[in-house]
Amino acid sequence: MTPADTHLFDRRLLIVAGKGGVGKTTIAAALGLVSARLGRRTLITEVDGAGRAAALLGVEPAPFGTARRVRDRLSVMSLEGSAALAEYLGLIMPVKRVLQAVLSSRIYQYFVAAAPGLKELMTIGKIWHEAERVDETTGERAWDVVVLDAPATGHSMQYLGMPHAAHEVFRSGLVGRESRRLVDLLSDPERTAVNLVTTAEEMPVNETVEMYERLRNELGLPLGCLFVNRLHDSHFDVAAIDRLGRQVTRLADERERAVVTEVLSRAREEAGWTAINRTYLERLAREVKMPAVRVPFCFSEEFGLEQVRFIAEAVRAALVAGAEAEKARGRA
């Protein structure tokens, strides 16, 4: 199966998970850009984030739970459990004065801080709400695609597992019924795909393999693509570089020798990363049965919208095939 065969952008909810520091937010932002280019009304959501997705896309983050428009068909939103709960209570509790009294009471604050899994559940609930929401004025779905920039692995598993746990505990009540709907959305391969992001290095790959197995065996969630980020791909011949290194002494000027030595050591560094990446790409291919999207390392002084666009291009090339590709190129 190729990455394009997953038809990611035909699904409603694209979850982007992985170890901390591998570039989840970047991949989520890139997916958002590609999705919007394909004409899908797209919302990127981030959990407990400091508005990083918004910053990467070059806009100011909006308050929790509020969408900030990035461009046509693309918005970004930060989510936070207690804000989502307050919003939810606002829906079921129309009298503002009572609502305020509840929200500001000490017992409520204790309750929110202490109730296990409540924040996770409310966050997933809010995502569900956005994924299913119908715009009142147009009568259409507010978003075609919701991209979720999930927290780091351990926390992701808590978020993704919470609806199931809540359903098991509270089968009969409102929470039980609502969490059933969340479980239905999360486990429906027509609507949802859990994507993993990793770099091709030992530690992130270990964690990715572990998470892949848990997603498949414990949570049974539908899988999308594996994004292998920051890949180095050079063709330097290390033996040839070493030969060159021995010839550096032929240069008379000390500064020239220093520069050439640096040039060669950077080539060695690049060759080293390329070798590491190849080793772990092979391991990923053996152990993680998800179509892999290879995302090149982005060499730049800063990391911002321009770099996200560069990565979105790699993502688009891998995910969008045939007629859709034509369409995406036309809009790009």
Tell me which residues in 146-205 interact with another protein (CB under 8 A).
Answer: 151-155, 158, 161-162, 165-166, 168-176, 201-204
Tokens representing 75?
Answer: 């918005």
Q: Closer to another protein by CB, 86 or 142: give it.
A: 86
Judged by CB under 8 A, the chain residues 61 through 90 that form the site for another protein are none
Which of 1, 91, 96, 107 is the binder for another protein (CB under 8 A)? Answer: 107
**What is the smallest separation between the CB atom of 319 and another protein, expressed in angstroms?**
25
- Backbone angles phi and psi of 3, in degrees to 5: -55, -35
The string of DSSP codes covering 107-155 is HHHHHHHHSTTHHHHHHHHHHHHHHH-B-TTT-SBS-SEEEEEEEEHHH
Looking at this protein, which amino acid is placed at residue 241? I
Q: Between residue 35 and residue 54, which ones bind another protein under the rule CB under 8 A?
A: 48, 50, 52
Residues 265-304 that bind another protein (CB under 8 A): 266-270, 272-273, 276, 299-303
Q: How far is the C-alpha of 291 from the C-alpha of 294, rounded, in Å?
A: 10
Query: Which residue of 62, 67, 102, 325 would you call a contact of another protein, by CB under 8 A?
Result: 102
> What sign has the CA pseudo-torsion 74, 78, 81, 82?
negative
| Stretch touching another protein by CB under 8 A, among 28-36, 64-72, 104-112, 324-332 | 104-112
Total of chain residues touching another protein, rule CB under 8 A? 78
Cα(265)–Cα(175) distance, integer angstroms: 59
Q: What pairs with residue 141 in β-bridges?
A: 134
- Least separation in angstroms between CB 21 and another protein: 2
β pairing state of 223-231 and 292-296: parallel
**259, 289, 306, 326: which one contacts another protein (CB under 8 A)?**
259
In 187-253, which residue ranges form alpha helices assigned H by DSSP? 202-213, 238-247
Whether the CB-CB separation of 301 and 16 falls below 8 Å is answered with no
Integer Cα distance of 301 and 283 in angstroms? 31
Residue 264: CB minimum distance to another protein, A = 8
Write down the least CB distance from residue 70 to another protein, Å. Answer: 18
| Residue 206 interacts with another protein (CB under 8 A): yes or no | yes
Task: Work out which of 134, 239, 250, 323 binds another protein, going by CB under 8 A.
Answer: 250
CB of 202 to another protein, least distance (A): 4
Q: How far is the CB of 198 from another protein (least distance, A)?
A: 11
Q: Which of 260, 281, 305, 317 is in the footprint of another protein by CB under 8 A?
A: 260
Give the pair of three-digit tokens for residue 282.
Answer: 């092979």
Answer yes or no whether residue 239 interacts with another protein by CB under 8 A. no
What is the rounded distance in angstroms from the CA atom of residue 137 to the CA atom of residue 155?
Answer: 37
Residue with tokens 């095939």: 321
CB of 54 to another protein, least distance (A): 12
